[in-house]
Structures are given as C-alpha cells and as structure tokens.
Amino acid sequence: MFHARSALFPVVNLAPPARPPRQQAITVIRSNKGHPGFLDLMIHPQAHAKLHASVLVLIDTGCGGTPKDATAKVGCLRTFLETYPVADNDYQPLNPGFSKDYVVICSHCHFDHIGKVAALTASSAIWASSYDRSFIEGKDRLPTSSLCRFFGVETPKYKVTHWADDVQHVQTSDSGDDLGLVIYHTPGHTPDQLAVWDPQERVIFVGDTLNTLGKLKSLVAAWNGDASDQTIDTSAVCPFPRSTSAPSRVQIACGHITSASDAQQLISDVDAFLYQVLENRVPSKYQGKF
C-alpha cells in the first residue's frame, strides 16, 4: 500500500484499494467551544469520528469547557456521541448508550485537541506519538506543552495507553484487531504532532500541521514549532494524490476549519510557501503578544 515516504506525509499508491461494503463513515464534529480571546483560527476545533464494529475511533476531542453559543443543543462531547442523532449514522447517535469503547488518537497535546480526553479515559485507549514522550509526560510539562497555563485552562488529566511508533497500525487493545488506520510521526507544529492515514476512505488527518482559512493556505505557527521541521519533499509527496480520477483522490482533514480538501493542492501550496519562508522571501510582520 505504501511505496515511499516523504519528509512529512506517506506517499500512497495511486491505485484505489479494494473497498468492502461501506460500514462506516467519517463524521466531523465541529465544536464552537473556544477560550475567550483565543485566536479566531482556534475557535472551531474539529474531532473526527469513525465507527468500527467494536469501537468508536476519535481523532482529537476539542476544547471542552462551556459552549460560546448559548443555543447549542449539546455542550458535552460524550453526551453528543452517546445521545445525539447524526445524519451520517441514519439519525442514530454514534455510540448510543456507550455501546462501544473509545479509541482516542491525539493529533497533538494542545488543549483545544485534548480538552475532553479525560471524560473518555475510563475505558478508552489513548494513542499519542512516541516521538518525544517527555513533551507530554515529563515532570510538569503538560501544562506548558498543552498551552493550558497560558490561557487559564485547567490541564486535562489522562494517561496515554499506546505510544505510537512511526508507521504504526492502530489496533484494539483487547483483541489486537487492526482498525485500518496508520499513524505517522510529523513533528513540527509540536514534537508530538502526528498524522493518521485512512486508506479505506482515502483521507489523511494532519492535526494542526496545516489548514485552509478561506482562500489562504497556511501552516499553523506554534510556540513549539520550527518551519524547517515541516518542510515537505515535493518530489516525493506530489505523486500520492495526483490521480485525476475522483475515487483515487486523497482528501486532507485538519484540526481546524478544513475537513475535506484536496490533499495534493493544499500540500503543494503550503510546501511552496514554506520554501519561501526558509529562503527569507516572506517579510515578517509583528502581531503583538498574548
């Protein structure tokens, strides 16, 4: 299935894989919970859910906290998952009555992505990148690494149960069943940033490595990030989503705003911009402190 590896993303065989009868769909859960005064880009973090026979997989959990929209019908992620009817699931809750265990994959440890992980940890498998475990589990590190202490947010208390190696397949904890998802280390935005490849749906989940904001394609800057770590090998990456056949196109899903964009176009645009930054061709602009 994988025949090469770029600096940032897997290179995917252009031939679409054989697809079994569709049993599940990816559901994007958009939260309107945000910390007052936080960057507009971060107001709507996204959690991505996928149903399997025995588990519900969540990529990120959003901010947590109180909804900014007073008209919101559901203010708790777990309540939403277990009680709210979802159109993509025949208007049934994604996990009615907690009928399935949760497998939570943390794209990275910023608070707007792990805010509700503690509410799911009692019987959940929690996956995170093993690239730099000390960034999460080092003494007194998480309040800073998660940015919680900068925004007056309580740091979630949770324990990672699976430290994922690069190119590791996600499996269930009890039976070891392969869930058809592959984790890749993609440090840059944070040391623990990872990407998740779903070959069945042909979607790659990239967390906050990049996203779109209207017509703007951008790399998400971070206190912990280094642009040089996020440089993409264009010659290696471009082939993987290049097919013009609609079933073969790879979509990219990000931690904010972007849930189903064309991967080739977005990666190519951001890659070109990064090279300009690294060559000092993009003027800096002071944005103040917060």
Tally of structural domains, the chain: 1
Bridge-based pairing of strands 125-129 and 101-105 is parallel
Q: Which residue in 255, 258, 260 sits closest to 45, CA to CA?
A: 255
144 burial class (0-12, 13-18, 19+ CB within 10 angstroms)? middle
Cβ within 8 Å of residue 70, ≥6 positions away: none
Segment of 4-13, 140-149, 239-248 carrying the highest mean pLDDT:
140-149
The reply to whether 288 falls in a domain is: no
Which residue type, as a one-letter code, is found at position 25? A
Tell me, what's the pLDDT at 107? Answer: 95
The reply to whether 289 falls in a domain is: no
**How much of the chain is in helix, strand and coil states, percent to nearest 5?**
20, 25, 55
3-state secondary structure at position 264: helix
The more confidently predicted of residues 223 and 205 is 205
The more confidently predicted of residues 210 and 236 is 210
Mean pLDDT of 188-203: 90
Residue 108: CATH number of its domain: 3.60.15.10
What is the average pLDDT value for the chain, to the nearest integer? 74
Using alpha carbons only, what angle is made at residue 54 by residues 73 and 62, rounded to the nearest 5 degrees? 35
Please report which confidence band the pLDDT of residue 13 belongs to, taking 50, 70 and 90 as the band edges: very low
- Which of 109-118, 128-137, 234-243, 263-272 is predicted with the least confidence, judged by mean pLDDT? 234-243
Domain range holding 255? 2-10+22-278
Tell me, what's the pLDDT at 189? Answer: 85
d(CA 133, CA 109): 11
pTM above threshold 0.85: no
The reply to whether 34 falls in a domain is: yes
Cα 24 from chain centroid? 19
The reply to whether 114 falls in a domain is: yes
- Residue identified by tokens 């019987």 is 123
